């Protein structure tokens, strides 16, 4: 996959470059190239008619004879530093996205030396505990910080997590959801619903839609049932 790009002087999303790497590979590309490798801190070096605002992985200050490593240098490194030449992509499940742009994405590789590499993009606004289960048996688990790109190099099989039990929100949100809050808004909502506001009645609905959320833009359950994510490879 070519024609991916590094972040621009005008601003790009932190998760753009990891997406440019994982997306093509997950769809059977043998690799992904992002341009440019080197740029100028004054943004005065560009291919004629090309991307005048593009920065490089390394930004060079020619007058000061110094350089700066950009955020793209480090996010690209989550792949390039750990995935070896001739590595094999491993198919897997467990990635998911919410309508608000948050979610978890995992890309998996088998290095020629036998190491398994998992690059995890956590777009959620909270830390999660990630569980990896291998089809060949065994597993591994650990914490992934919020709003981060993390790479695991797994040399041995570790203990799997205990089975995840449904706190009630996963089933409730799948079957009912929080649509009712347009009629009975949560206490923290800026505007009252068409029929007033909901009160704490001890119900799963109030717990999943009002207690576990603090704004309407959050998904049902407030990502509570996403705190333990599972990837099967």
Number of C-beta neighbours around residue 48 at 10 A: 5
- The two three-digit tokens of residue 192, written as one number: 């009252």
Tell me the backbone φ, ψ of residue 173, rounded to 5 degrees. -65, -35
Query: What proportion of the chain, given as a percentage, has pLDDT over 90?
Result: 29
**CB contact set of 17 (below 8 Å; sequence gap of 6+):** 4, 6, 7, 34, 72, 75, 76
- On the question of pLDDT at 18 being above 70, the answer is yes
For 97, counting Cβ atoms within 10 Å of its Cβ (0-12 exposed, 13-18 middle, 19+ buried), the class is: exposed
Between β-strands 116-122 and 148-154, what pairing exists: parallel, antiparallel or unpaired? antiparallel
- Cα–Cα dist 94/194, whole Å: 38
Q: Rounding to the nearest 10 degrees, give the CA dihedral for residues 117, 119, 125, 126.
A: 0
Strand ranges (E), the chain: 4-5, 34-35, 38-40, 58-61, 66-69, 88-90, 96-97, 103-110, 116-122, 128-133, 139-144, 148-154, 228-232
Q: Taking Cα atoms as reference points, which of 213, 168, 223, 167 lies closest to residue 186?
A: 213
Tens digits of residue pLDDT in 208-217? 888 888 778 7
Tens digits of residue pLDDT in 87-120? 999 988 878 888 888 889 999 999 998 889 999 9
- Cα–Cα dist 155/116, whole Å: 7
Tens digits of residue pLDDT in 132-185? 888 877 678 888 999 999 999 988 655 554 444 455 787 888 788 899 999 999
Between β-strands 96-97 and 128-133, what pairing exists: parallel, antiparallel or unpaired? unpaired
């Amino acid at each position: 996959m070519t024609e991916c790009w590094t972040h621009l002087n005008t601003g790009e999303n932190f998760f753009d470059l990891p997406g440019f790497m994982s997306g093509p590979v997950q769809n059977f590309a043998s690799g992904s190239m992002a341009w440019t490798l080197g740029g100028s801190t004054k943004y005065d070096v560009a291919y004629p008619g090309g991307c005048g605002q593009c920065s490089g992985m390394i930004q060079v200050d020619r007058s000061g004879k110094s350089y700066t490593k950009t955020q793209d240098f480090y996010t690209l490194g989550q792949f390039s530093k750990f995935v070896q030449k001739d590595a094999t992509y491993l198919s897997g499940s467990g990635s998911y996205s919410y309508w608000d742009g948050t979610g978890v994405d995992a890309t998996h590789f088998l290095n020629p030396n036998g190491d398994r590499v998992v690059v995890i993009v956590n777009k959620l606004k909270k830390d999660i505990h990630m569980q990896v289960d291998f089809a060949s048996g065994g597993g591994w688990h650990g914490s992934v910080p919020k709003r981060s790109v993390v790479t695991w190099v797994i040399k041995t099989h570790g203990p799997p997590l205990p089975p995840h039990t449904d706190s009630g929100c996963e089933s409730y949100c799948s079957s009912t959801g929080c649509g009712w809050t347009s009629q009975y808004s949560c206490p923290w909502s800026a505007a009252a619903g068409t029929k007033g506001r909901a009160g704490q009645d001890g119900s799963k609905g109030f717990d999943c839609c009002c207690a576990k959320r603090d704004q309407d833009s959050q998904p049902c359950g407030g990502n509570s049932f996403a705190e333990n994510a599972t990837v099967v490879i």
